[in-house]
Chains A and B, each alone.
Chain A
Amino acid sequence: MNAFAVFGRGAIALLAEIGAMSIFALRGAFAWVTGPFYTRAFLSAALRIGFNSLPVVGLTAIFTGAALALNIYDGSLRFNAETFLPQILSVSIVRELGPGFAALMVAGRSSSGMAAELGAMRVSDQIDAMSTLAVDPYKYLVAPRILATTLMMPFIVLAADIIGIFGGWLVAVFALEFEGATYIRNIDQFLTAEDVGTGLVKAAVFGFLISVMGCYYGYKSRGGAQGVGAATRSAVVASAVAILASNYVMTSLFVDF
């Protein structure tokens, strides 16, 4: 087989996969409109994704903020701009690192969790059983998870932003001898609602992508424990790629000169 055919086949398979995912995601959007809406399933998904992600996202954010403060200080010292540390740090976090890191952590946690849970349900006939019980498994299992993740991500990212800026503040005040109140005032005067808002829009998009990937691979998984393992792996990899790619696209749209 020549290399051209291999490449072509791969490209076609990739496009077919993206198409199937898009249809899957559209069905998700359509399911909220047509109902029925399963409130309990939604609330439990929201609690699991939103609340239970906070510790790991918080830890990531505080260390990211702290390391970022050191790096920005060290870099900006070279042209005597170190007093701008609070501004640079806060804008980096709310626009880019808060949404990005939080989404990657949630992808590792929830996308894999959804893929494993739905995958196990699929291979043990539970999803088929649900459809014989007059409940559309798509509406009961998939739609609430997609909606919950999309709605919860902005809150998670807001928490990550605050904790990340706090991590930077700790380093700045205790290691770099900044004055705590001035640091906060600088951020307050500099940061715009747009900086924060675009980060939160990113967060919602990331949440949508994470849950679509997790549900898609879980829902379609085949072939026992091995199939569930493969679904989990694909879900995490695909959501990480989707997050980073869509992040670039959104950033280039938001940074409009």
Chain B
Amino acid sequence: MSDAPKIAIRGLKKSFGAKSVLKGIDLDVRQGSSLVVIGGSGTGKSVLLKCVLGIIQPDAGEILIDGDNLLKLSAFDRRRRAREIGMLFQGSALFDSLSVWENVAFRLIHGEGKSRREAREKAIECLAKVGLAADVGALQPAELSGGMQKRVALARAIAADPNILFFDEPTTGLDPITADVINRLII
């Protein structure tokens, strides 16, 4: 268990039409470690993450989490697997029909069946971790600045304490000081 990688990607390929974006990616991530993928704009970082999450179907290759090939699992097992993953989307992707705290608590309430009160307390706690005051929780996402939205999305990703966390550009659009806070939090 200890030396098997938590996530292993083998020969992952994906093209959109004639344009091939991922050309056979291999990588290993061990339990308890962090991996940063750096690349120019439009080189396929977001596509890579979306493949691992099962949002985009890759053309070829394997994605192994704890040794199980995600692409061979049934839809049901795959969904269960997705539960241990938290994801911060590049565009934040906050639910604009819900208030900020309901966004952060979404998984706790709807995915894990916690009571709204309990989930709300946890949500306020997570907001504090990303440097947002409790009264921000009552606002709508549209009332926040871009950087604040990003921090709310980060709070939402960590709220359920997932085993695996993916961040798609967590600090773009943030000032260096807040970015530093976020980077510390991630590590």
Q: Which residues of A contact B (CB under 8 A)?
A: 36, 38, 117, 120-121, 124-126, 128-136, 140
Contact = CB atoms under 8 A, between A and B. Distances in A.
Interface residues of B, number: 26
A134 B91 contact: no
Contact of B82 (A36, A117, A125, A132): A132
A124 to B, nearest CB: 6
Contacts of A120: 96
Contacts of A131: 53-55, 79, 82
B111 A135 contact: yes
Contacts of B93: 124-126, 128-129
| Most chain B beta carbons < 10 A, residue from A126, A128, A131, A133 | A133
B110 interface: yes
A48 to B, nearest CB: 11
Contact of A132 (B53, B90, B95, B97): B53
B94 A128 contact: no
B158 to A, nearest CB: 12
Given A128-B50, A128-B53, A140-B110, A133 B91 contact: no
Contacts of B156: 133
Nearest to B166: A132
Given A125-B89, A126-B93, A134-B111, 10 more contacts: A126-B95, A126-B96, A129-B89, A129-B95, A133-B106, A133-B160, A134-B79, A135-B107, A135-B110, A135-B111
The 8 closest A-B pairs by CB, nearest first: A134-B111, A125-B93, A129-B93, A133-B107, A132-B87, A134-B83, A135-B110, A128-B55
Nearest to B112: A134
A134 B82 contact: yes
B60 interface: no
Contacts of A38: 110
A125 B87 CA distance: 11
A51 B95 CA distance: 24
A136 B107 CA distance: 11
Contact of A133 (B50, B90, B96, B111): B111
Interface in B84-110: 85-87, 89-91, 93-97, 106-107, 110
Contacts of B83: 134
A125 B166 CA distance: 15
Interface of B: 50, 53-55, 79, 82-83, 85-87, 89-91, 93-97, 106-107, 110-113, 156, 160
B25 to A, nearest CB: 20
Nearest to B94: A126
A130 B102 CA distance: 13
A243 to B, nearest CB: 27
B79 A136 contact: yes
Contacts of A117: 97
B18 to A, nearest CB: 18
A134 B107 contact: yes
Contacts of B113: 36
B115 to A, nearest CB: 13
Contacts of A124: 91, 93
A134 B91 CA distance: 19
25 contacts: A36-B110, A120-B96, A125-B89, A125-B90, A125-B91, A125-B93, A126-B93, A126-B96, A128-B50, A128-B89, A130-B95, A131-B53, A131-B55, A131-B79, A132-B82, A132-B85, A132-B87, A133-B110, A133-B160, A134-B82, A134-B110, A134-B112, A134-B160, A135-B107, A136-B79
A248 to B, nearest CB: 37
A125 to B, nearest CB: 4
A36 B82 CA distance: 17
A21 B97 CA distance: 26
Nearest to A132: B87
A200 B74 CA distance: 40
Contacts of A133: 106-107, 110-111, 156, 160
